[in-house]
Structure 1
Amino acid sequence: MLKPGVINRRLVGEVIERLEKKGFKLVGLKMMHVSEDLAGKHYAEHDGKPFYNDLVSYVTSGPVIAMVWQADDCVTLMRKVVGATKPTEANPGTIRGDYCIHTDRNIIHASDSDESAEREINLWFKPEELYDWADCEDGWY
């Protein structure tokens, strides 16, 4: 998910381009406003933590771009491309390393496991909103 900060800073195309150039296959994409209910479900594992309310407030403060990407070892590769959650720990060349300064204004969310990805995809997308298409680039990355 691209969070409100990436939209406000007009970085949507640049971030998506980086993911496409890496070789990820985009199978779901939509711009939307996040309800507090959806944000609460998405970040349920953080409920009760000191940063939870700020996290929900940020992700509901403006539109987001919800996305589903595919690739071999997708979650592991995506986490490497996205970079560490804390910008001070994110390496240059990663999305967070290049575009984030504050953890609480992180510009992108990436699932941390295959199980989380499946749960999150089901929260954000209906089955008919996902498109598995033949990628002529398969095998080239």
Structure 2
Amino acid sequence: MQREQRTFIAVKPDGVKRGLTGEIIKRFEAKGFKLIGLKMLDVTPEMAEKHYGEHKGKPFYPRLIEYIQSGPIVAMVWKGFDVIAGARQLMGSTKPLEAQVGTIRADYALVKEYNVVHGSDCVESAEREIAIYFKPEELCDEYDNMAEIVIEKLDEE
């Protein structure tokens, strides 16, 4: 079982335009995850194609590419204990009407196509997505946080 992980999270254009970035960051910090990379940027066509390459050829692919380039995103890298699963739990289902009450998407997303936030679904996707948006030297993961204390306690048990 993997303990410490990294994941890629992006506040999508609709979330940025609606001023939800701070609220989303607050939820991840409250969970005890460590923010190690953060930037606001316009997604280039090349970035969009790399990010959504697995969907190329599907009917919704052109809409994905258009949407992710419709405004700036806030790209983030988070680190922590089972952060990939934890982030997906915080975000909720990609379909807002099916998302559990209290999740980011249940609280803020309007429709599936505009669901405010993206999060990696596995370790491989996380590393691939991180590399699209961040250079290694742009990540700052050398400081203490609560997740390290939790991991130490679990190791003692």
Name the TM-score class by shorter chain: over 0.9
> What is the aligned residue count?
141
Q: Return the alpha-carbon distance in structure 2 between the equivalents of residues 19 and 108 of structure 1.
A: 12
1:75 maps onto 2:48 in alignment: no
Q: Deviations over 1:52-93 (max 9, x none)?
A: 111111110110000000011111111111111111211111
Alignment match, 2:45: 36
Alignment match, 2:128: 119
The aligned runs of 1:79-90 (5 Å cut-off) are 79-90=88-99
Q: Which runs of 5+ in 1 are unaligned?
A: none
Higher relative contact order (CA 8 A, sep 6+): 2
Shift of the alpha carbon at 1:139?
Answer: 2.0
Q: Which runs of 5+ in 2 are unaligned?
A: 1-9, 152-157
Q: Which runs of 4+ in 1 moved over 3 A?
A: none
% identical equivalent positions: 51
Alignment match, 1:129: 138
Aligned equivalent of 2:71, options 62, 68, 73: 62
Q: Secondary structure at the match of 2:126?
A: helix
Q: Flag the 1:127–1:11 CA change in 2: closer, same or farther, 3 A.
A: same
1:10 maps onto 2:29 in alignment: no
**What TM-score do the two structures reach when normalised by structure 2?**
0.86
